[in-house]
Chains A and B, each alone.
Chain A
């Protein structure tokens, strides 16, 4: 298990009832169908401001589809969702102003340098020109990437790419950042650094919505939801979930739930 400075973690306070208007992310029966296939099946949950929310599920459970809907990339088939107070179906562009997104597949420009990518996205999000350069320098030194500022992104190793993606996603200080399997295929040291960055972002008040397959990482989230076949089967703090499922760790919780899945892995 990774070691994280746990004193950053805030004491847990119960969230308002599901479907309430208190959270920075709210969904009510959010559903997405592709033809006859229901990828996301009436999910309702709420995420509080500043929370690190783990969004778990086996491959093909519908995590990415749900996340894409919350980011305004995909239109819901039914149900409602509010992100930063905006309706994801009716005001997707307003939602986009307030979020950062790091997709599962690396999607920064490989043929631009580290610095150029940061500058491009800062510019798109409307960060003021005179603030961009100092902030890039600051971010790069924090990432330890100052020497690679003018390196083409395609030449970076995967772990560095992921850290860069995350920095770009939070560069404009969004209210919420969505991370889709940010540590997939990354070495343990980089993963630890990555989670440190996530904690720092949460410290600054950025809500973190993260999917992962690493159950040790699930322990670092304040609350986790576990999706099975498009539905949310469990949602609570890791400690409560362990107690509820009489499990020693999240791994066991996950296995108990995921075993029920009938959907073929896609």
Chain B
């Protein structure tokens, strides 16, 4: 039996001095190597949950544990994000002044890898994404699908153990969506990574081995 890589206990997240509650006591456990989809209506709290699991934000109440150690206390959030977690966002969030290969390297600047290693690894990852011919292009010279593939390469740059994707196909057409999901499936199978995808697309959610539904800040199933 796998040990939990992530465990959330009674997570509460509120905004506006408690007037808005995004999460209202969420308990969830994710095992190492698991592929989990989280779905729910807009404003249900699914992205907030992903942010808390990824150490992007801190809970108003409750704890998140990574391999049994509490995030923000026993585990430094910056180190956790740079070494254990790779993020993929709906809006890609590439830096507009950097070329594709430089966007991938930016993530590695946080962990002080050697310059030649950074460039070689970024090139290898982009090649893996089928973008060897687009490495020197700027984000505005790439299609939406290509941008998301650069973002995936960037998420993998520091060889994380967990991949967190927030609506990764939300800005893509059906062909590119399928391509991105194919890439993510391949990554999980080859690397054995834990993958959590927030999505509002039923196909993606139902194809995941585990599907968490969330509504009004609470897990439904």
Chain A bound to chain B: no
Interface residues of A (CB under 8 A from B): none
Binding site for A on B (CB under 8 A): none
